[in-house]
Amino acid sequence: MEEAVRNAPLFLALDEEASVALRASMVEIDFTRGQVVFAEGDPGDRLYVIVDGKIKLGTTSNDGRESLLAVLGPGEMFGELSLFDPGPRTATATALTETTLLGLGHDALGPWLTGRPGVAQALLKALAQRLRRTNENLSDLVFSDVPGRVAKALVELKEKFGEKRSDGFYVEHDLTQEELAQLVGASRETVNKALADFAQREWIKLEPRAVLLLDLERLTRRSR
């Protein structure tokens, strides 16, 4: 089985045999870049685990502005909120690259949770981590300036998608500058200015849908 799946919260507490059985009961679906998995407000009937690729989770305001809640990668799970608290999807999920997902229907999940406190515990832990991160983002929105938030977003994207190279960490985030701005919660102009400033200081090198972090230490310091 793919390592990312094996390490997904849903699978962590299962032994090999149970993992294989769960994997077999899930449906594998492929998406191309830009394809919508589900939209905010849709009725939710399954949760997803990312096997390969990247998913952005976003919401749209009444006047049409978009905001990104998170960018998820292999092994991460989404679509569980409307399962634990039945109701419409709280965000739109869109593939940022070619992406392979495993889907598990809500009714199929029930039996995996009953009698397996370990699985429920792992899911609770994933939810708690998400709440922790969301709270942190909320206080950053209130207390940090835009360059600080941009630095933090870059460091977080590096944690998820960074690849060590001789000259730094190469982070292929697959986000446009507009999407990066939506993730940071600021205008594209202000975010571009912060990025240009970091590039000029040689902390980063910008590339289309990717960034090379040349000075992680300074960037991390700027993110605090």
- Phi-psi category of 62—alpha, beta or left, where left has phi over 0 and alpha has psi -120 to 50? alpha
The answer to whether residue 9 forms part of the interface with ligand CMP (CB under 6 A) is no
Q: Quick check: 135 binds ligand CMP (CB under 6 A)?
A: no
146 to 185, contacts with ligand CMP by CB under 6 A? none
Between 185 and 204, how does the x/- string for binding to ligand CMP read (CB under 6 A)? Answer: --------------------
Q: Is the CB of 121 or the CB of 134 nearer to ligand CMP?
A: 134
Residue 179's φ and ψ, nearest 5 degrees, are: -70, -35
Among 121, 134, 135, 187, binds ligand CMP (CB under 6 A): 134
CB of 203 to ligand CMP, least distance (A): 27
Q: How far lies 80's CA from each of 38, 84, 100, 109, 214, in Å?
A: 13, 6, 17, 10, 37
Cβ-Cβ contacts under 8 Å for 170 (sequence gap 6 or more): 162, 163, 210, 212, 213
Site for ligand CMP in 59-88 (CB under 6 A): 69-70, 78-82
- Contact residues toward ligand CMP (CB under 6 A) are 44, 57, 69-70, 78-82, 89-91, 130, 134
